[in-house]
Structure 1
Amino acid sequence: MEKLSFEISKEVKFRGISIVSVVVLVIIWAIVTHFEWVDPYFIPKPLEVWSSFVVLLSEGYKGASLFTHIANSMYRLFTALFLAFITAVPLGLLCGYSKYIRAIFDPIIEFYRPLPPLAYYALLVLWLGIENESKIALLFLSGFAPLFIATAAAVEKLPADRMNASLSLGATKRQLFQYIILPSCYPDILTGLRTSIGVTYATLVAAEMVAATNGIGWMVLDASRYLRSDIVFVGIILMGIIAIGLDSLLRFYQARRFSWVGK
Structure 2
Amino acid sequence: MNGAGLRRLGLGLIPWIGAILLWYAVRWSGFVNVSLIPAPHQVAAKFFELLTKEGLLIDIFASTRRVFLGVALGILVAVPVGFLLGWYRPARTFADPMINFFRALPPIALIPLVIVYFGVDELAKLVILFYASFFSGVIVMYEGVSQITPLYIRVAQTLGANQTEIFRKVIIPLTVPHILTALRVALGVAWATLVASELIAAQRGLGAMIQNASTYFLLDVIYVGIICIGLIALIMDLILRKITARLLVWQDRAIA
| TM-score, with structure 2 as normaliser | 0.89
Alpha-carbon distance, 1:36 to partner = 5.3
> Is 1:13 matched with 2:4?
no
> Is 1:245 matched with 2:197?
no
In 2, distance between residues paired with 1:92 and 1:35? Answer: 50
**Using a 3 Å threshold, how does the CA distance of structure 1 residues 171 and 68 change in structure 2: closer, same or farther?**
same
**Using a 3 Å threshold, how does the CA distance of structure 1 residues 215 and 201 change in structure 2: closer, same or farther?**
same
Alpha-carbon distance, 1:11 to partner = 5.2
**Using a 3 Å threshold, how does the CA distance of structure 1 residues 112 and 77 change in structure 2: closer, same or farther?**
same
For 1:171, the aligned partner's letter is N
| Structure 1 equivalent of residue 143 of structure 2 | 153
**Mean alpha-carbon deviation: is it higher for 47-56 or for 241-250?**
47-56
Alpha-carbon distance, 1:35 to partner = 6.2
Q: What stretches of structure 2 of length at least 5 have no aligned partner?
A: none
Q: What stretches of structure 1 of length at least 5 have no aligned partner?
A: none
> Is 1:44 matched with 2:71?
no
| Structure 2 equivalent of residue 232 of structure 1 | 222
Deviations, residues 86-132 of structure 1 (Å, cap 9, x unaligned): 11111111221112222343232111101111112211111111111
SS across alignment from 1:203: helix
Alpha-carbon distance, 1:13 to partner = 1.9
Aligned residue among 53, 60, 75 for 1:59: 53
**Using a 3 Å threshold, how does the CA distance of structure 1 residues 190 and 213 change in structure 2: closer, same or farther?**
same
Aligned residue among 114, 127, 131 for 1:124: 114
Alpha-carbon distance, 1:76 to partner = 1.0
Deviations, residues 199-242 of structure 1 (Å, cap 9, x unaligned): 11100000001211111111012101211010011111111111
1:89-100 alignment runs, 5 A limit = 89-100=79-90
> Is 1:112 matched with 2:89?
no
1:190-201 alignment runs, 5 A limit = 190-201=180-191
In 2, distance between residues paired with 1:158 and 1:46? Answer: 47
In 2, distance between residues paired with 1:26 and 1:131? Answer: 38
In 2, distance between residues paired with 1:232 and 1:11? Answer: 34
Task: Name the count of aligned residue pairs.
Answer: 252
**Mean alpha-carbon deviation: is it higher for 179-188 or for 243-252?**
179-188
| Structure 1 equivalent of residue 162 of structure 2 | 171
Alpha-carbon distance, 1:155 to partner = 1.7
Asked whether the equivalents of residues 118 and 206 of structure 1 are also in contact (C-alpha less than 8 Å), the reply is: yes
Asked whether the equivalents of residues 93 and 151 of structure 1 are also in contact (C-alpha less than 8 Å), the reply is: yes
**Mean alpha-carbon deviation: is it higher for 155-164 or for 210-219?**
155-164
Asked whether the equivalents of residues 117 and 138 of structure 1 are also in contact (C-alpha less than 8 Å), the reply is: yes
| Structure 2 equivalent of residue 262 of structure 1 | 253
**Mean alpha-carbon deviation: is it higher for 110-119 or for 175-184?**
175-184
Asked whether the equivalents of residues 128 and 134 of structure 1 are also in contact (C-alpha less than 8 Å), the reply is: yes
Asked whether the equivalents of residues 52 and 230 of structure 1 are also in contact (C-alpha less than 8 Å), the reply is: yes
Deviations, residues 118-172 of structure 1 (Å, cap 9, x unaligned): 1122111111111111111111111112211222122211222322444563523
**Mean alpha-carbon deviation: is it higher for 236-245 or for 15-24?**
15-24
Asked whether the equivalents of residues 28 and 34 of structure 2 are also in contact (C-alpha less than 8 Å), the reply is: no
In 2, distance between residues paired with 1:116 and 1:261? Answer: 36
**Mean alpha-carbon deviation: is it higher for 19-28 or for 108-117?**
19-28
Asked whether the equivalents of residues 111 and 200 of structure 2 are also in contact (C-alpha less than 8 Å), the reply is: no
**Using a 3 Å threshold, how does the CA distance of structure 1 residues 59 and 52 change in structure 2: closer, same or farther?**
same
> Is 1:186 matched with 2:180?
no
Deviations, residues 9-36 of structure 1 (Å, cap 9, x unaligned): 5554233122122113212323443565
Work out the percentage of aligned pairs sharing the same amino acid: 31
Asked whether the equivalents of residues 34 and 45 of structure 1 are also in contact (C-alpha less than 8 Å), the reply is: no
In 1, distance between residues paired with 2:46 and 2:32? Answer: 19
Alpha-carbon distance, 1:246 to partner = 0.7
Aligned residue among 58, 61, 70 for 1:71: 61
